[in-house]
Amino acid sequence: MTVRNVTPAARSSEPRQTLLKQAALAEALMDGLDVGIMACDEHGRLSLVNRVGRDLHGFDVGDTIEPGAMADSFVVYRPGSRERVPADELPLLRALNGEVVDGQEVVLAPPGRPRRLVSCTGRRIQDEDGAVLGAVIGLRDVTSQRAIEAVLSARAEREAPAGLPNRVLLDRRTDLRLGEDAGGSRSVALLFVDLDGFTSVNDTHGHAVGNHVLRQAARRLDDVVRATDTSARLGGDSFAVMCPDMPAGDPTHAERLATRIAGELGRPFYITGAAVQLSASIGIAHSRDEDLDAEELVARAEAAMLTAKQTGAGQIATYSPTATALVRRPPAAARIERLLRTAIEDGSLDVHYQPVVNLSSGATVGVEALARLTDDEGTAVAPTTFVQVAEQCGLVGALGEQVLRRAAIQVAQWKRQLLREQEFGLGVNLSVHQLSDPGLFTSVERALDEAALDPEALVLELTESVFSDIEQHTDVLRELQRLGLKLGIDDFGSGYSSLSYLRRFDVDILKVDQTFVADLDDKRDRQVTGAIVRMAHGLGMPVIAEGIETPQQLAALRELGCQLGQGNLLAPAASAATIGDLIARRRLIVS
């Protein structure tokens, strides 16, 4: 940082009043910041400390930071340890020594004040000729951010999949049975079960959800098999089932079991409200009367599974040394793709709306648009399922565009007809895939124009995964924000446990994931939710709690200072007609 020399001549030509005013303004500005600022002259004497800096440290202008006396005057620890930071590593002195300080974290423990974990950024200040004038550092209090992050990753750990026996046990039991059955009328069947598309669950929803799905998959597998069978987790998203008591020479028993397993794992996995649709590829190998060991049997079943997978997701194949035979082909994804294409093409995709409610007044302050798709029998397909299929087959842009256009027109109409143009928000979900679509900006702009909807009413909801790779998406997100619309983080806290992006990118609204609301009974989870609400409010973001189902949850959220919410208790998602009625009625109650 370079500071121009202010010459006495220049100073005297400036009216004193103006200078004083400028100084007062600068001081007010500095004190208004939520970052601590400390600057020192070339001797280490503090020349500037703003309000937050004083609060953090207890130091003020004029105090001298002498490297020698440093260790005594500043009680500064390394994060997570009892070790003091030596004088030459203190951020301000490092900066004074010419180092660039960028995100150095230290624990400040001034006597009589609470300990704070701060992240420091600093530079040396020099004049035009290179003479050192001093140094300046910014201190950001990251205590609660780090505490929340620690709890988020602990939650992810706690959700780690468990329960089923592992490979070692499977092999031991299989070898035992193979030995007993050799040459008899019974044989061992081994089913190698591999989830299709599981990686995208982790990518889209985060590891906590991924682990949750794995645990549910393990439980379903265990429920389907008989007590005498052994189901095991082979690692990652692969499972095995060993059936020791199959009639030798009759493969249909194992095939029927595989079909049941495929059916079970093909049902949506519900992650508190959201549904994840997967399928399983299954390979079957029979021991027959050959001299096989467990390892070889598992390898054969795996080979059959790979053949099944190559043919497409959700297939079953039985191993044979000559030609591995496919058992069946349930074209779930293909069917959904067809439904989706038709619905998008003829404009019959349905959009439902869920009210966003002010938790203290009960007023409906906006809605979230949620896409709906029904199959030929009139059964609803879970949105997470068809959104995932849409992402995989390149239809998610068209899906999102249609939902946005329809919803914008609907909300603009409600505003005109029912709300006397009062402020009213519209949340529309945006898949991360849409961010790479070069036509996104134009289609959002067009939807707003077409509906004559004020851009400020629109909140595009993005999941945290967008922010784990924020650099890649910064330009498009900023461009969208320039339209005047808002960006919200959906399902906050469900996946990515780093919060630093919240400061690097201007997000307007935070939607706390349903799992936090569901866990509010737990004291610790309640504290985390409270900390998240405070942190968001500190950053100027309103918080919407999702999935409020019970009066207890509602009361707890109110107590934690959360102002907005969605959930079946308040109002479930429903058709435009139903929500229109509700808005009309609530307007009378509230105003």
Binding site for Mg ion (CB under 5 A): 429, 461, 490-491, 546
**Distant-in-sequence, close-in-space partners of 479: CB < 8 Å, separation ≥ 6:** 441
Write down the least CB distance from residue 274 to ligand C2E, Å.
5
C-beta of residue 458 within 8 angstroms of C-beta of residue 448: yes
Write down the least CB distance from residue 175 to Mg ion, Å.
47
Write down the least CB distance from residue 369 to ligand C2E, Å.
6
354 binds, among Mg ion, ligand C2E, none (CB under 5 to 8 A by kind): ligand C2E
Write down the least CB distance from residue 1 to Mg ion, Å.
43
Q: For residues 241 and 432, which CB has a smaller minimum distance to ligand C2E in the complex?
A: 432
314 binds, among ligand C2E, Mg ion, none (CB under 5 to 8 A by kind): none
Q: For residues 244 and 366, which CB has a smaller minimum distance to Mg ion in the complex?
A: 366
Angle 31-36-37 from CA coordinates, rounded to 5°: 80
370 binds, among ligand C2E, Mg ion, none (CB under 5 to 8 A by kind): ligand C2E
* CA distance readout (Å), 339 to 7, 250, 396, 422, 432: 76, 38, 13, 37, 22
Q: For residues 245 and 549, which CB has a smaller minimum distance to ligand C2E in the complex?
A: 549
Write down the least CB distance from residue 463 to Mg ion, Å.
8
Report residue 570: phi and psi, to 5°: -80, -50
Q: For residues 307 and 354, which CB has a smaller minimum distance to ligand C2E in the complex?
A: 354
181 binds, among Mg ion, ligand C2E, none (CB under 5 to 8 A by kind): none
The closest residue (CB) to ligand C2E is: 273
C-beta of residue 241 within 8 angstroms of C-beta of residue 257: yes
566 binds, among ligand C2E, Mg ion, none (CB under 5 to 8 A by kind): ligand C2E
Q: For residues 138 and 273, which CB has a smaller minimum distance to ligand C2E in the complex?
A: 273
- Tell me the C-alpha distance between 273 and 232, whole Å: 28
- Tell me the C-alpha distance between 69 and 282, whole Å: 70
Q: For residues 50 and 272, which CB has a smaller minimum distance to ligand C2E in the complex?
A: 272
Three-state SS string over 76-105 comes to: EECCCCCCECCHHHCHHHHHHCCCCEEEEE
Give residue 101's Cα distance to chain centre.
Answer: 30
Q: For residues 231 and 431, which CB has a smaller minimum distance to Mg ion in the complex?
A: 431
Q: For residues 391 and 461, which CB has a smaller minimum distance to Mg ion in the complex?
A: 461
444 binds, among ligand C2E, Mg ion, none (CB under 5 to 8 A by kind): none
Binding site for ligand C2E (CB under 6 A): 272-274, 354, 370-371, 383-384, 387, 400, 403, 429, 431, 461, 490-491, 514, 546-549, 566-568, 573
Write down the least CB distance from residue 566 to ligand C2E, Å.
6
C-beta of residue 378 within 8 angstroms of C-beta of residue 365: no
**What ranges in 116-271 are assigned the alpha helix state H?**
143-158, 167-181, 198-205, 207-224, 252-266
Write down the least CB distance from residue 305 to ligand C2E, Å.
30
Write down the least CB distance from residue 548 to Mg ion, Å.
12
